[in-house]
Structure 1
């Protein structure tokens, strides 16, 4: 079926380009999820999940009249990644859900980077923001109901982010957030996690309400063919997986959990 699609459809149309990006994202996500399930002896089934894969049109105007439009960015916004999970313990389920959440967030920028041959880290996602904050030695706080009154005044983030954190804490969840915003290319803001303390399920958020990642400032290059990159991605996927484990496991973050 994939071979037939590849041979009959032009991948350089906007619609097919995004469709192939979506197929690759879910393929990579399922691959990582299966590996993680084996590590934690978990059985999992993906239920119907929803993601938005878009390339917003940037329009140039001349005296109020639209003159041309180009695709300058690509965005992956996964609103729901729903799974049925059977685990040998609550701890195994929590670890499994935490790790696939981190991987999924990381894929929301790295899939675009890999498929369209841009350097890793150029895009932005919640996990990418946490990685950069850690690299810049910005404190990353684990906020709970017990320490929110102490930590919240320390955060140099927008009121929108603080409100999300407060609402999450009131709902019995915890939050993971850098102490301040980061500048990432043309993007500035916060990336943070609101996570269920029991199940490990969470929302991996960028400031502004995006449950995903984006890559901005792209050139209009018709040669950026996602399906052509698929074979190379499969070859590299094992190495990429272990790099992600090393980079974004919670143990690698310098969490500043204030009592």
Structure 2
């Protein structure tokens, strides 16, 4: 059969982001944006790190396949799972045509502690990624751009935080995602002006100084429209979608397609 007659294969992959504490070099901890990767157990790309994913069965929805393969490879069932983009360049996988529908998921640190982590599944800091298989580095970079854009106008930060959080924890999420320090006073004024936060009337216990207030996001608040167009598609992308979907748990596997 000629290459012209061969049929493309359809895969589903997921980029996962979480905030985890990391040593800052001064004896303290700083929030760090991290993502889990899986080691490929077959060619092409044997031994290289890649995004969690799997082939799409004929009887399963895209959202269901994304949630299942995510649970199989990492043990995660995130609250936030959204379709990111479809990557379909003909040359993105050696020897065959593979189209990948990519989702992205956000989880908070409590979920990360329960996630799978072994010799074939490892969490990496987003600015210290290994050499990745296929076009997965470009996919992660596109997901980061999308996350930074949405952080400016939506309540997406809540998916990276526990239900109740301090203003410093919320600022830490913004700093980790935007990769820059933010002035605490200005950040507080900006966030309080959005109307998205509710002061729970409780305070964080066990702190050395005055206990900070605990907040939660207001579920009734409607995010404002984005201030600018969505980030430009990477060269590898074929089409986009941004419909949020509920996750579904799955079982056990660590090999991934392209």
Name the TM-score class by shorter chain: under 0.3
TM-score normalized with structure 1 length? 0.25
Structure having greater relative contact order (Cα 8 Å, sep ≥ 6)? 2
TM-score normalized with structure 2 length? 0.25
